[in-house]
A and B are shown apart, each in its own frame.
Chain A
């Protein structure tokens, strides 16, 4: 008798499988970063504003900071820009920018025209630093703690809601830690 129920069980198993795979809030392109919990790669690149100066994350050691990967070619980065400006105004943590595979004059025009939420912007036109961080699209936003470990990675435009839900609690916890 139980044998006749087998196809039904198989069907239910399939439904559960598909339901998990088709969850509406699941981004099929989002990949877990293997960098979470590990030490963030240290970099030093030319400043997007002034090629003679350099920008890196070494001076931020001992601080909680955010690294935001963007480019002027990236529509979603334009979308999140207002949010970043608002976050910069709140001044919770420094936001370091990584201008990825971009053109310098365009990036400068973008920042001059739309406002600059970044404490500094590194210019990664070759994309080598982006490879080290495992960047595979823009925008991406990383949260790094005082010990230089990556706490969180957000793959999509930053929103006030994501900041509230994912970043602020982690920042609060990380600020309490000693260096």
Chain B
């Protein structure tokens, strides 16, 4: 990919790593202001990448476009969606989604088009199938293990005799 400067959201982290303040007091102030700035940035609604292709005229299509590009992973910067990324490939994929929407393709057809070319990885919301069973099931299995563990601890504690006084030191 072409070299491009860091996106604005990533900058405060870099500054925080690079700036070495002279004194401990100052370092705290800098750290605090960086943290505050970061929190403020995080609190802002996620800014979308600029749409170089312009908006779609039909508002229904535009809203489908927005939700589709948010569901597609940018292959270059793998922790961003196609909607958020400024990478040239993400721009191309946004253009592709727009063209397919205008051509009257369904959401399912568009997602299938992307999956055929880039694999399941491109989808942030992979369909539930045998291959993704672990992915979808693991959180529930872990939750179940947690509930059972807590349940057993609570039951065991409940069966214990109540001691009002701490045992006397001998």
| A interface, CB within 8 angstroms of B | 29, 31-35, 73-74, 101, 126-128, 130-134, 136-137
Asked if A31 contacts B1 (CB within 8 A), the reply is no
| B interface, CB within 8 angstroms of A | 1-2, 75-76, 78, 88-89, 92-93, 96, 115-119, 121
Asked if A134 contacts B88 (CB within 8 A), the reply is no
The residue from A32, A34, A130 contacting B115, defined by CB atoms under 8 A apart = A34
Asked if B88 contacts A131 (CB within 8 A), the reply is no
User: Within 8 Å CB of B115, what residues of A?
Assistant: 34
CA distance A165 to B96 in the complex (A): 36
Residue of B nearest to A28 (CB): B78
CA distance A136 to B96 in the complex (A): 14
Q: Can you name 8 A-B residue pairings with CB atoms under 8 Å?
A: A32-B119, A34-B117, A74-B1, A126-B92, A133-B117, A134-B117, A134-B118, A137-B1
The residue from A74, A127, A136 contacting B118, defined by CB atoms under 8 A apart = A136
Q: Tell me the minimal C-beta distance from B150 to chain A in angstroms.
A: 16
CA distance A131 to B113 in the complex (A): 10
Q: Tell me the minimal C-beta distance from A4 to chain B in angstroms.
A: 15
Contact A132 B117, CB 8 Å, known A31-B75, A101-B88, A127-B92: yes
Q: Tell me the minimal C-beta distance from B76 to chain A in angstroms.
A: 6
CA distance A136 to B117 in the complex (A): 10
CA distance A74 to B3 in the complex (A): 9
Asked if A136 contacts B119 (CB within 8 A), the reply is no
5 interchain residue pairs of minimum CB distance: A136-B75, A134-B117, A127-B92, A34-B119, A134-B118
Asked if A127 contacts B89 (CB within 8 A), the reply is yes
Asked if A34 contacts B118 (CB within 8 A), the reply is yes
CA distance A34 to B115 in the complex (A): 8
Asked if A136 contacts B92 (CB within 8 A), the reply is no
Asked if B88 contacts A34 (CB within 8 A), the reply is no
Q: Tell me the minimal C-beta distance from B100 to chain A in angstroms.
A: 11
